Structure 1
Amino acid sequence: MRLALIAATLLFPALALAEPPEILAAEQRGDTIHVTLAHPDTGWDHYADGWQVELEDGTVLGTRTLFHPHVEEQPFTRSLGNVTIPEGVTQVFIRARCNVTGWGDERFVLQVE
């Protein structure tokens, strides 16, 4: 019991600092989506590890995996090509992910052509 309490005490501050990535900007150029993220990456133990393009109903049109932390590069922009947006759709949503907190609840609205 005592060991569990000590472990929880040591882990809680790390979880409290585990913030989801913030989507600062996004833009569409043709079939490519460019997204700028900010996240307090600390290294391999905690970093923004992806983002995805979704329709309003949550249908995923594409996912950009981020394979490494960006501790020294904040904010940063990454792109995802070959995103097919269905005809008639005027906006898509960007959702970001962190390797600690998972997919964020907040979605960035991007008006598309």
Structure 2
Amino acid sequence: MLIDRIPLLRMGLWLIVAGLAVCPIDGASAGQADVEKVEIERAADGSYSFHVTVRHADTGWDHYANAWSVLAPDGSLLATRVLYHPHVNEQPFTRSLSGVAIPDGISKVIVKARDSRHGEGGRSLEVELP
């Protein structure tokens, strides 16, 4: 009888749902890109070089950390370093950007990373300029 099979059907459905929760099909398990470390140097011409360490569980071309940005305290964009490929076997990784002009009066900046699936949203760092 069908009534005798309902507990088994419920159990089977539960196992399917639990399996999807543990192993998402869409690759979202890589999460968002996090900024782990920022080092800043000031050049003789007054511009800055940023050395930013990012961590992201890159899965390949479908989901990877694809940029980091330097923002003023008010959120205005000062510079962006585009990352052109996944870093699946290189985590965390550090990339640099030099020649960044920071307007007078700004003593600290916010550095945010983003990934190709979620955009910005992982851990960012606020850092003092040297």
Normalised by the size of structure 2, how large is the TM-score?
Answer: 0.73
**What does the per-residue CA deviation read over 1:4-24, in whole Å, with 9 as the maximum and x for residues that have no partner?**
xxxxx7xx9135414111111
Residue aligning to 1:22: 34
Give the letter aligned to residue 78 of structure 1.
R
| 1:103 matched to 2:115 | no
Residue aligning to 2:8: none
Cα distance in 2 for partners of 1:41, 1:105 equals: 14
* Structure 1 position 88, deviation (Å): 2.2
Contact 1:26–1:35 (CA<8 Å) still a contact in 2? yes
| 1:77 matched to 2:94 | yes
State the superposition RMSD in angstroms: 1.6
Give the letter aligned to residue 109 of structure 1.
E
Say which of 55, 59, 64 aligns to 1:38: 55
Cα distance in 2 for partners of 1:16, 1:44 equals: 13
Say which of 52, 68, 83 aligns to 1:66: 83
Unaligned residue ranges in structure 2 (runs of 5+): 1-19, 43-47
Cα distance in 2 for partners of 1:23, 1:61 equals: 17
Contact 1:18–1:101 (CA<8 Å) still a contact in 2? no
* 1:49–1:16 distance in 2 versus 1, CA, 3 Å: closer
**What does the per-residue CA deviation read over 1:10-54, in whole Å, with 9 as the maximum and x for residues that have no partner?**
xx9135414111111001112111100110001101100000000
**What does the per-residue CA deviation read over 1:33-84, in whole Å, with 9 as the maximum and x for residues that have no partner?**
1100110001101100000000011111100000000011111000111111
Q: Who wins on radius of gyration, i.e. which is larger?
A: 2
Cα distance in 2 for partners of 1:78, 1:16 equals: 24
Contact 1:52–1:62 (CA<8 Å) still a contact in 2? yes
**Which 4+ runs in 1 deviate beyond 6 A?**
none
The percentage of aligned residue pairs carrying the same residue is 44
Residue aligning to 2:64: 47
Cα distance in 2 for partners of 1:47, 1:81 equals: 23
Unaligned residue ranges in structure 1 (runs of 5+): 1-8
Contact 1:18–1:100 (CA<8 Å) still a contact in 2? no
